[in-house]
Structure 1
Amino acid sequence: MTDSFKSSIFPDDSDGEWWKKTTVYHIYPRSFFDTNGDGIGDIPGVIEKLDYLKDLGYETIWISPFTESPQRDFGYDISDYFSISPQYGDMALFEKLVQEVHRRKMKLVFDLVLNHTSNEHAWFKESASSRDNPKADWYIWKDGKGRNGMKPPNNWRAMAGNKAWTYYPERKQFNYTAFLPFQPDLNYHNPEVKQAMFDVVRFWLKKGVDGFRLDIISAIYEDAELRSNPPSFRLTPSDKSLSIFFQNLKNNFLHEKSFEFATELRSVVDEFDNPRRVLIGESHGDEALINQFCYHNGKNGLNAIFLFKAISTPFKAENYRQMLLTFEEHFPEPLIPTLVFANHDRTRIISRLGGSVAKAKLLALFQFTCRGIPFTYFGDEIGIPRVRIPLKQGKDAIAIQHNWVPQFLVDKSAEILNRDECRTPMLWNEKPNAGFCADSVEPWLPIAENFKEINVDKQMADSDSLFNFYKKVIHLRNETPALHAGSLEIAHDLCNKKILAYDRIFGGKRFSVVLNMSRYAHKNPINHSRILLSTHLQSDAHQLQPFEGRVTMLD
């Protein structure tokens, strides 16, 4: 890459570890903005809305995959790592996106699926064709058990709940998948596979991406002997435990070699140091374990790892205080926590909070004033709700796999089984289809019914809207070093069952954040201070209103 080309695609990078200070907006491109009239969002749609994100204050965008794919899992089943899916655009449009992001002095994080490919990838087709082809060992194959070898090699379950083995008659063997049956896992015990995937990483870094969000990094390695998993008392997985259908997935997830792999990957990414690039991984598991993705055996690994505890923690002051303690214990400086409250796989924030805009503002205040990297899933800044879509009408591969589940059980669940429900299109205005696509076009998923009340245009004009609070708190964070780079101290003496309080400190300045996480008014525990921001337009200096949060500069 020539110096002139680098200067054209990268902004000045005097920040060093810029990811520790940034704010991230997660775009699910299929649902963001459609420019070509097919009812599916695309790369030009992202480019067209960059100024919207810049004005909100976001500094980094993370985009879900748009590389070549059969779209059975909407981009997370890759059939070619080096080309763009025609539904979204082409390589020239991607290169334009990189330039336009950097022209605005923003960053672009690419969603990279290292763990598996589509079963339509050329590598897998070759691997599945026989036992003696050049790529025969690029995926995980094993002879079956039983008289005719037709029983799976072990008892492994996949993360999506299905059995982890699929039989291929061409090889008379079973193939392993950590997620869905059409997403075969690459065999990282094979050095050729590892080098091929490192070349994929280098390819996109040379294209100008500022780093990667690494899908399902917890599944990179499996037990080399493919031993069966032990039993568990859990039926369903949790953000802390990798157990499903009464099985502990200890032999096919969070393997020691996956932590080692993170350090190797870091070495590859660090070849590109002007500007520095970032690695952020996706993994469930206990914080005391998954922090090894970031630092393992004396070596640096990923720059950050998703902490899904934030999604499952009850919206109560004491629970959030304990969450902060956990994050600070296991991700102290120079490590950094992530603050992820929603994504393309989980229930929408506003729905989890019972539709309460007041709670959503309070959660945003917490997210953007803690020490950590805040991630916003597209549309959460305007409160897009979970859109109920019957399981049997689902386009999501998990919904299709589980369409036998009675709908009344699905409706009772706080979490979603049909991920379509959190992926519905962005609501831009009051026009038919909410401005996501042309009026005459059918969007790929239904539009939220309340789009005329909560769209971007309407909320921009309302000074007390959720959108405008996001904008205020993000700009305050960006402009206040203590909020984006300072240390954090929990004010334990002020905390109780209703109140969460903590200070951010930088350069001799101290800022207090106080959140009343209850439906009752509460005496303000902070006196003689200047209020910089409140979740409520009208604030009483001596009293916190229900679900009110404030940032104050201490005297």
Structure 2
Amino acid sequence: MSNKTRWYKDSFIYQIYPRSFCDSNGDGIGDIQGIISKLDYIKDLGAKAIWLSPIYKSPNYDNGYDISDYRDISPEFGTLDDFKTLVAEMRKRDLKLIMDLVVNHTSFEHKWFLKSKESTDNEYRDYYFWRKGRGKNGKKPPNNWTSRFGGSAWTYDEKTKEWYLHLFTKEQPDLNWDNPKVRKEVEDIVNYWLDLGVDGFRCDVITYISKREGLPNGKWGLLSRGDEHFTHGPNIHKYLNELNKNGFSNKDTMIVGEGAGVTLEQAIIYTNEENEELDNVFHFEHMETDFYKQAIPRKFKLKNLKKVFSKWQLGLLQKGWNSLYFENHDFPRSLGRFTGDYKDKRVEAAKMLAISLYMQQGTPYIYQGQEIGMTNYTFSNISEFQDVLVQNIRSVFGVFEPIFRPLIFKILKIRARDNARTPMQWDASENAGFTEGKPWFYINPNYTTINVENELEDKNSILNFYKKLIQYRLGNEVLINGYYKEYEGKNKDLHVYMRNYNGVSILVVCNYKNKEVPFKPNPETANKNCKLVLHNYNYDRPILEPMTLRPYEALVYELNKPKNS
């Protein structure tokens, strides 16, 4: 395996959810020109790449993750010329562009699917999974698989009297990757965007593309059925390697896979450079420490989070590559989720989370608004949610939904994806500077205090701290390549770990609680030449000694570093 450090190993990637980022024309929806207007902001932050959530043509049943045309831009976001301008402006600023690649499924309005449903024997029928039903007259689904969004994973078509598979909504039919024509279509899509200047892809639910032959019934499960037959399927590695050779590897790209259900052992296979599949993965294990299967709440325990961190940091070392993230468009905001009730310590808590996460090994991702400490929206009624996932969850309960509504609402307030999809808070003007029109979704009322303009003016703000942290990490060989060793593993309040590389060590100390917590350095770290390089309180702790950490205090020390470096 090559020792070469690829660009994504030393880059912060900034995720943009276009609909909620910046609106340039007053229609209330973020767009490409709005993104262009904020490129200097992203460059100044220190990010080296942008991950753009889908901007393809789509009927928007799932906010762009149901694509009807892979080679064009949705009019609400702009035009293909706008996209080309975006690429050109990013090149001027030495920013790379990562596009979402959604190819487990298409929209049910895609021309392939429209043609496939015309008859049972046309050339596009095998682009998807069409099957005869069970029971009398075939009116029962072909198997017992459930959709990730609730209910059956099958929908009946009256015209052809068959069912089609959709692991998500009925508007998102699954592509049949066993068909070589489908794989060639995907390769062509990848190369089309690479030729337009894209630098890589985030592959949406890529671990679902290979289904077990015959589509057998799944084991019974309370929340889902069929997972073992479509997650990490029998041909997944063959298909990814094929796509890499015929598409991804044609440019100097970065390919990250959304690894729903991925284990450490599977991630090693996916991301080992010798296998030529993916460059890094988004695993979900740390994001499930407070939610079982991302659905049922359970009490957050720092010890569980630390176990996951150690497992993946040690397990992938020199074998694969990780992604570092606490937020994206599919999860609620991290503040409050991993910190408990931060009360008046929002700034300290946000900085602490950044240190705890981004001093580890892997490619760091920042989701829009995370760098200013944006928080969950305070929903007052279940009808305020717009996410299709919420609507599907409610429909699963059928006539019993009114009975369970209070419980559903309680969970959704803290878990719903809509929490992360409120518009970006740029300033204290009307609609947070996001739009001059009526915003497509609610603006968080705290925008008058939590916004980019205020953060830029405050030298001690979360935003300015992120800039310092990013600059410290970039080019830091210890953080890019170093070994991870955890201390205080059983401590329920502190996350303490060391990174080591070529005789230089970096010690990270984080208090996850809104209270004072004692800390005593380990003998391995005591009495060493040390320098405090990052901290989230406005005072210094130059000496590494027994101390009482303040609420959410976080410290980063360099140990054994030559004094002239």
TM-score if structure 1 supplies the norm length?
Answer: 0.89
Deviation of 1:281 after TM superposition, in Å, equals 0.6
Residue type at the aligned position of 2:534:
L
State the distance in 1 between where 2:416 and 2:166 align: 20
Which residue is equivalent to 2:201?
212
Report if aligned partners of 1:512, 1:554 keep a CA contact under 8 Å in 2. yes
Equivalent of residue 277 in structure 2, options 278, 292, 301: 301
Residue-by-residue CA offset, 1:219-260 (whole Å, 9 max, x unaligned): 11212201000113x43xxxxxxxx2xx35211222121232
Structure 1 pair 128–24 and aligned structure 2 pair: CA distance change class (3 A): same
Which residue is equivalent to 1:87?
76
Matches within 5 A, 1:230-245: 230-232=219-221, 234-235=222-223, 244=224
Equivalent of residue 454 in structure 1, options 440, 445, 450: 450
Q: Which runs of 4 or more aligned residues in structure 1 lie more than 6 Å from their structure 2 counterparts after TM superposition?
A: none
Equivalent of residue 145 in structure 1, options 134, 138, 142: 134
Percent sequence identity is 36
State the distance in 2 between where 1:224 and 1:292 align: 25
SS in 1 for 2:126: coil
Which residue is equivalent to 2:235?
257
Which residue is equivalent to 2:478?
482
Which residue is equivalent to 1:11?
none
State the distance in 1 between where 2:459 and 2:68 align: 46
Structure 1 pair 539–408 and aligned structure 2 pair: CA distance change class (3 A): farther
1:369 aligns with 2:359: yes
SS in 1 for 2:445: coil
Structure 1 pair 343–355 and aligned structure 2 pair: CA distance change class (3 A): farther
Deviation of 1:503 after TM superposition, in Å, equals 2.4
- The answer to which of 317-326 and 254-263 deviates more is 317-326
Residue type at the aligned position of 1:122:
K
Which residue is equivalent to 1:107?
96
Structure 1 pair 83–466 and aligned structure 2 pair: CA distance change class (3 A): same
Structure 1 pair 211–86 and aligned structure 2 pair: CA distance change class (3 A): same
Which residue is equivalent to 2:183?
194
1:378 aligns with 2:368: yes
Deviation of 1:507 after TM superposition, in Å, equals 4.5
TM-score if structure 2 supplies the norm length?
Answer: 0.88
5+ unaligned residues in a row in structure 1: which ranges? 1-14, 236-243
Deviation of 1:318 after TM superposition, in Å, equals 3.1
Report if aligned partners of 2:166, 2:174 keep a CA contact under 8 Å in 1. yes
Equivalent of residue 552 in structure 1, options 540, 548, 557: 557
SS in 2 for 1:137: helix
Report if aligned partners of 2:154, 2:164 keep a CA contact under 8 Å in 1. yes
Which residue is equivalent to 1:7?
none
Equivalent of residue 421 in structure 1, options 419, 422, 427: 419
CA RMSD of aligned residues (A): 2.3
Residue-by-residue CA offset, 1:30-85 (whole Å, 9 max, x unaligned): 00000011000000111111111111111111010001111111111100000001
Residue-by-residue CA offset, 1:302-329 (whole Å, 9 max, x unaligned): 1111021222336655334312221034
Equivalent of residue 390 in structure 2, options 387, 399, 404: 399
1:160 aligns with 2:149: yes
State the distance in 2 between where 1:378 and 1:293 align: 30
Which residue is equivalent to 1:28?
17
Structure 1 pair 317–77 and aligned structure 2 pair: CA distance change class (3 A): closer
State the distance in 1 between where 2:520 and 2:126 align: 64
Residue type at the aligned position of 1:421:
N
Report if aligned partners of 2:536, 2:554 keep a CA contact under 8 Å in 1. yes
- The answer to which of 285-294 and 177-186 deviates more is 285-294
Which residue is equivalent to 2:533?
532
SS in 2 for 1:350: coil
Deviation of 1:342 after TM superposition, in Å, equals 1.5
Report if aligned partners of 1:498, 1:517 keep a CA contact under 8 Å in 2. yes
Residue type at the aligned position of 2:349:
K
Equivalent of residue 515 in structure 1, options 505, 510, 513: 510
Report if aligned partners of 2:313, 2:360 keep a CA contact under 8 Å in 1. no
5+ unaligned residues in a row in structure 2: which ranges? 291-299, 396-400, 561-565
Report if aligned partners of 2:269, 2:275 keep a CA contact under 8 Å in 1. no
Which residue is equivalent to 2:63?
74
Deviation of 1:286 after TM superposition, in Å, equals 4.4
Matches within 5 A, 1:326-365: 326-352=311-337, 353-354=339-340, 356=342, 357=346, 358-365=348-355
Structure 1 pair 495–229 and aligned structure 2 pair: CA distance change class (3 A): closer
Deviation of 1:268 after TM superposition, in Å, equals 2.4
